[in-house]
Structure 1
Amino acid sequence: MRPAPGEVVHFSEDPTITRFEPHVAATARQPEAYVWAVGASSAPDYWFPRQCPRAMAWVEPSTTEADRAWLGADRVHAIEYGWLEAMRTVSLFAYRFSSASFRAFGEHAHAVVATVPVEPLGPAERVDDLFALHEEAGIELRVMRNLWAFVDLASASTLGFSGIRLGNAKARRSELHG
């Protein structure tokens, strides 16, 4: 599930939204109100239950051979075992929007934002089998007891890296024994 050319998409567990109003997200680092969406390249980052912590790493042109070998795939998304059932059973929906109302957000433009209310191009589309989506996209999905070793290694490497909802991940192992 990716947006078509000229579109962006927003993923939600609520299939009943008819109008998206700009708001300040609970996790926002800025005070401005936005409607958030993503383009085709970032859509896989949201093929998860909304609150699911995930770490993502991928090969960049500047990635060293050692880091490429450590990752073992072109792109990896990692979650914790505690989220497997939610991955299997979540009701996830995608809303498509015209990209005309959105602008790139941030230095790396991983997301786009609108500062005005926007209406979807049509009803919410159910996003089925999240595991199959990852497989079809060539993304290796890894399940781990704890995400932090992966986060620490990937974020300190020459790989591309992103983490979403990491505040919902299990505590670091050192925090469990300290």
Structure 2
Amino acid sequence: MYYHFSEDPSIICFHPRPHPSHPSLAPVVWAIDQEKSPLYFFPRDCPRIGFGRSAKTTPEDTARFMGYSDASMIIAAESAWYQRIKEAKLYKYTFPPNPFVCWDHGAGYYVCHETVTPLSVEPMGDLLDCLTQANVELRLTPSLKPLHDSLLDSTMQFSMIRLRNARL
């Protein structure tokens, strides 16, 4: 199964749309796999950076970025967003695996070129609890810039979302 997360509980079907960060890509419906879905347990516009180990991650980068954490993923968000994260009402839309195709395996992104009707929609409840249940470590920081700059030159698997809204 693949998922889409939204603050709108009334979406009947998802139509392909152009993506502002990928203007050369044909319009698509975006979805995320189960493993990477915690990256979207946030209000839509919340800037955040998720990162974790991959097969290419060096022991030095693991120690530097993960420290003593045994979380499956670490997600950093700006401290200024804490209250909005805590109060957000988010809904999980579930899609069938077909007709989605993998767009970026490392990021867990899947795309579909046709309109998709979700199988279900359900409220997420407490997002901080959802992150905890998903074995994710949440880090709050005044600015994402130091982490952003450090991860670019690392061997960590990372995803940077909505940074246009960050205090970079």
Q: Please, what TM-score do these two structures have when normalized by structure 1?
A: 0.85
Q: Percent same amino acid among aligned pairs?
A: 34
| Mapping of residues 36-115 of structure 1, within 5 Å | 36-71=30-65, 72=67, 73=69, 74=71, 75-106=73-104, 108=106, 110-115=108-113
- The one-letter amino acid of 2:21's match is T
Instruction: Tell me by how many angstroms 1:106 deviates.
Output: 4.0
Unaligned runs of 5+ in 2: none
Distance change >3 Å, CA 68–CA 109, structure 1 → 2: closer
Match of 2:123, SS state, is strand
2:26 to 24, 32, 36: 32
Query: Distance between the aligned counterparts of 2:25 and 2:55, measured in 1?
Result: 34
Q: SS of the residue aligned with 1:125?
A: strand
Query: Shift of residue 141 of structure 1?
Result: 0.4
Give the direction of change, closer, same or farther, for the CA distance of 1:109–1:161 in structure 2 (3 Å limit). Answer: closer
Residue of structure 2 in register with 1:146 after alignment: 143
| Two-structure CA RMSD over aligned residues (Å) | 1.6
How many residues align? The count is 164
TM-score of the pair, normalised by structure 2: 0.90
100-109 or 8-17: bigger deviation: 100-109
| Larger Cα-atom Rg | 1
* 1:160 CA drift (Å): 1.2
Counterpart AA for 2:17: H
Unaligned stretches of 5+ in structure 1? 1-6, 172-178
Change beyond 3 A, Cα 1:131–1:34: same
Contact 2:88 2:127 in 1 (8 A): no
How far 1:62 sits from its partner (Å)?
3.1
SS in 2 for 1:100: coil
Distance 1:59 1:108 in 2: 11
Match of 2:109, as an amino acid?
Answer: A
- 1:16-72 residue CA offsets vs partner (Å, 9 max, x unmatched): 011111111333332411111111112111111100100111122332222222221
